[in-house]
Amino acid sequence: MNKRILAICLAPGVAFLIWLLAPAPLPDHWAEPEAALIASLSISALPPLSPDPSNAAADDERAAMLGRRLFFDPRLSVNGAVSCASCHRPELSFTDGLPIAVGAGPGKRHTPGLIGVAYSPWFYWDGRRESQWAQALTPLETHFEQGAGRSAIVRLLATDPEYRTMYQDIFADLPDPTRFPRSASPQGGELAQENWRRLDPGLQFDIANAFANAGKALAAYQRKLLPGRTRFDDYADAVARNGAVRQGQLLNRDEIAGLKLFIGEGNCVNCHNGPLFTNHDFHNTGILAGAGQLPSMGRYDGVRLARKDPFNCLGEFSDAPPEQCLELRFARDGNELAGAHKTPGLRNVTLTPPYMHTGQFASLAQVLNHYKVAPTAMLGHNEAKPLDLSRGELRQLEIFLRSLEAKPAAAREWLQSPFSHGRNPC
Ligand code: HEC
Ligand code: HEC
């Protein structure tokens, strides 16, 4: 065969090979508003944490070290067996894998993750706490969580030599543990409440103040739990740099299609926006009540409880002058908050099933099906509208959510118990 004929015969094959090997054409011709929206979801758009004026120790490294110890220490519980980390397990993105949490007793709600939670203006599914240190005090006194009570916590700080040194290095002196009983708290059982009433008001204040400081250290620790860079962030930054992305290089076709639905037809970005994929607000999404529970009033009750909390920004244990307590003073109120819950962030959401405030859905597929149907709310109005999406499109949304996985951007020590080799501190 002469060379010319050979070349003609091989040409289609060579062309096919070149087509196969060549980089795919630039895939994503995101129109300008879409490109800007994608860039706004990137972790590169996440600002540094703003200071917490109500917590003078919020960014004190020594407080973070003390907080880490407290976080992993089961002695901070009524039965010596439950620490924050029992429910917020680092290897599960600080969740517990259960629909409803179990502490010293069975709980009522699902455990949310803690990575990036320091950016929240409000804490809990119903936002009933408005600072991270006030939140941290709540499980310590809730009987079905740790339930130790404030005097037991302060006694431990005062009697454990390591805690005592660490605490006194940051805060003032601790109250003398011989002057108050082991169990005394305005939140405890009958005996604890009676013991609390018998203490003189000055000592009550000193105990509550040291207890608040334990919360401030726990908050300082959790400010270290920052989210890491995902494949999606590399993609979003490339889009922001004018689309120099090759299809399949950073995100695959399905992931990109899922992203398109997420910011488009799916309306997800209405609530899950910004670099943490949450608007930090409260919405009613028509989630059914948990099994055997009444529908949750959500934020309607939450805002009232936050205002009444003695450890809030306007309270006597806060380090902020009242004019800096803006969130609390200007918190939105109204009937539309009935049944509204906090929009969770979606980074690492694939690592934290089950989902929703009482773990109603076992899988992301169930969550997405819920959004497709958008059922009538049991209480208030479902703000999400039904979606005309095929099963394939729901699957693409799910595949996109998988691109949001990354290790936290926190040094290893913050992700591990300081009590090495599983050794108990006791
Ligand atoms: C028994 C399990 C359990 C223990 C122990 C526990 N938590 Fe939680 N945590 C939960 C549950 C459940 C929620 C959500 C409760 C709700 O919204 O009503 C939660 C919520 C939170 C939140 C709010 C997250 C958000 O997105 O608003 C933070 C922060 C937090 N916990 C930190 C801590 C700290 C710090 C400790 C230890 C002092 C602790 N938790 C102990 C189960 C637990
Ligand atoms: C109207 C606001 C709103 C819209 C729109 C919305 N979400 Fe949500 N999302 C929420 C709220 C609020 C929750 C928590 C609800 C609860 O537990 O009661 C939530 C929970 C979730 C969860 C569970 C997270 C967890 O950790 O439990 C996922 C996943 C999720 N949404 C994904 C999406 C996707 C994907 C879309 C688009 C199809 C979407 N959301 C649209 C507000 C919204």
Taking the C-alpha atoms of residue 297 and residue 318, their distance in angstroms, rounded to an integer, is 28
Q: How many CB atoms lie within 10 A of CB 28?
A: 18
Specify if 258 maps to a domain. Answer: yes
> Does 285 contact ligand 2 (Cβ within 6 A)?
yes
Which ligand is closest to the CA of 129, given by its number? Answer: 1
**Contact assessment for residue 75 and residue 425, using Cβ atoms and an 8 Å cutoff:** yes
| Together in a domain, 351 and 264 | yes
Q: Report residue 30's pLDDT band, with 50, 70 and 90 as the boundaries.
A: confident
- 221 alpha-carbon distance from chain centroid: 14
Specify if 314 maps to a domain. Answer: no
List all residues 6 or more positions away from 326 whose beta carbon is below 8 Å from its beta carbon.
none
> Does 107 contact ligand 1 (Cβ within 6 A)?
yes
Q: Report residue 32's pLDDT band, with 50, 70 and 90 as the boundaries.
A: confident
Specify if 318 maps to a domain. Answer: no
Which ligand is closest to the CA of 142, given by its number? Answer: 1
| Together in a domain, 254 and 290 | yes
Specify if 4 maps to a domain. Answer: no
| Together in a domain, 188 and 245 | no
Specify if 140 maps to a domain. Answer: yes
Domain boundary among 165, 192, 226: 226
| Together in a domain, 68 and 217 | yes
Nearest of 139, 134, 142, 186 to residue 328 by alpha carbon: 134
| Together in a domain, 159 and 210 | yes
> Does 296 contact ligand 1 (Cβ within 6 A)?
no
**Contact assessment for residue 338 and residue 284, using Cβ atoms and an 8 Å cutoff:** yes
Instruction: Determine the pLDDT at residue 146.
Output: 94
> Does 221 contact ligand 1 (Cβ within 6 A)?
no
- 21 alpha-carbon distance from chain centroid: 43
Ligand 1 geometric centre to CA of 111 (Å): 6
pLDDT one-digit tens code per residue, 328-339: 999 999 999 999
| Together in a domain, 150 and 277 | no
Instruction: Determine the pLDDT at residue 17.
Output: 47
Residue 11 scores a pLDDT above 70: no
> Does 65 contact ligand 1 (Cβ within 6 A)?
no
Q: Report residue 10's pLDDT band, with 50, 70 and 90 as the boundaries.
A: low
Specify if 416 maps to a domain. Answer: no
227 vs 16, more confident: 227
| Together in a domain, 193 and 209 | yes
Which ligand is closest to the CA of 270, given by its number? Answer: 2
Closest residue (by CA) to atom 28 of ligand 2? 367
Ligand 1 geometric centre to CA of 306 (Å): 15
**Contact assessment for residue 38 and residue 263, using Cβ atoms and an 8 Å cutoff:** yes
| Together in a domain, 160 and 240 | no
Instruction: Determine the pLDDT at residue 291.
Output: 86
**Contact assessment for residue 344 and residue 353, using Cβ atoms and an 8 Å cutoff:** no
Instruction: Determine the pLDDT at residue 319.
Output: 98
Specify if 423 maps to a domain. Answer: no
Specify if 23 maps to a domain. Answer: no
Residue 314 identity (one-letter amino acid): L
Closest residue (by CA) to atom 12 of ligand 1? 111
**Contact assessment for residue 120 and residue 368, using Cβ atoms and an 8 Å cutoff:** no
Number of domains in the chain: 2
Taking the C-alpha atoms of residue 338 and residue 299, their distance in angstroms, rounded to an integer, is 6
| Together in a domain, 270 and 392 | yes
Taking the C-alpha atoms of residue 92 and residue 110, their distance in angstroms, rounded to an integer, is 14
Instruction: Determine the pLDDT at residue 188.
Output: 85
Q: Tell me, what CATH number does 105's domain have?
A: 1.10.760.10
| Together in a domain, 222 and 235 | no
Residue 399 scores a pLDDT above 50: yes
Residue 22 scores a pLDDT above 70: no
Which ligand is closest to the CA of 367, given by its number? Answer: 2
Atom of ligand 2 minimally distant from the CA of 266: 38
Q: Please give the mean pLDDT across all residues of the chain.
A: 92
Instruction: Determine the pLDDT at residue 29.
Output: 74
| Together in a domain, 384 and 350 | yes
Mean pLDDT, residues 3-19: 51
Closest residue (by CA) to atom 42 of ligand 1? 111
Which residue pairs, CB below 8 angstroms and at least 24 apart, start in 86-92?
Answer: 87/111, 87/145, 88/113, 88/114, 90/415, 90/416, 92/351, 92/352
Instruction: Determine the pLDDT at residue 3.
Output: 56
Residue 304 scores a pLDDT above 90: yes
Domain, as residue range, for 355: 32-46+229-298+339-402
Q: Report residue 21's pLDDT band, with 50, 70 and 90 as the boundaries.
A: very low
Ligand 1 geometric centre to CA of 264 (Å): 33
- Pocket test residue of 124, 143, 343, 358 for ligand 1, highest count of atoms within 8 A of CB: 124
Ligand 2 geometric centre to CA of 352 (Å): 14
Domain boundary among 226, 260, 278: 226
Q: How many CB atoms lie within 10 A of CB 293?
A: 12
Instruction: Determine the pLDDT at residue 368.
Output: 98
Taking the C-alpha atoms of residue 227 and residue 357, their distance in angstroms, rounded to an integer, is 21
Closest residue (by CA) to atom 3 of ligand 1? 87
Residue 426 scores a pLDDT above 60: no
> Does 272 contact ligand 2 (Cβ within 6 A)?
yes
Domain boundary among 191, 226, 261: 226
Mean pLDDT, residues 383-410: 97
Residue 316 scores a pLDDT above 70: yes
Q: Which of 77-86, 156-165, 286-295, 410-419 has the lowest mean pLDDT?
A: 286-295
> Does 82 contact ligand 1 (Cβ within 6 A)?
yes
Ligand 1 geometric centre to CA of 230 (Å): 25
> Does 135 contact ligand 1 (Cβ within 6 A)?
yes
* CA distances, 220 to each of 224, 350, 369 (Å): 7, 27, 38
pLDDT one-digit tens code per residue, 55-77: 999 999 999 999 999 999 999 99
Atom of ligand 2 minimally distant from the CA of 354: 27
Atom of ligand 2 minimally distant from the CA of 349: 26
Ligand 2 geometric centre to CA of 153 (Å): 36
Percent pLDDT > 90 in the chain is: 86
Q: Report the residue count for the chain.
A: 426
Instruction: Determine the pLDDT at residue 243.
Output: 61
Percent pLDDT > 70 in the chain is: 91
| Together in a domain, 212 and 237 | no
Peptide bond into 139 cis (omega under 30): no
- Pocket test residue of 124, 272, 361 for ligand 2, highest count of atoms within 8 A of CB: 272
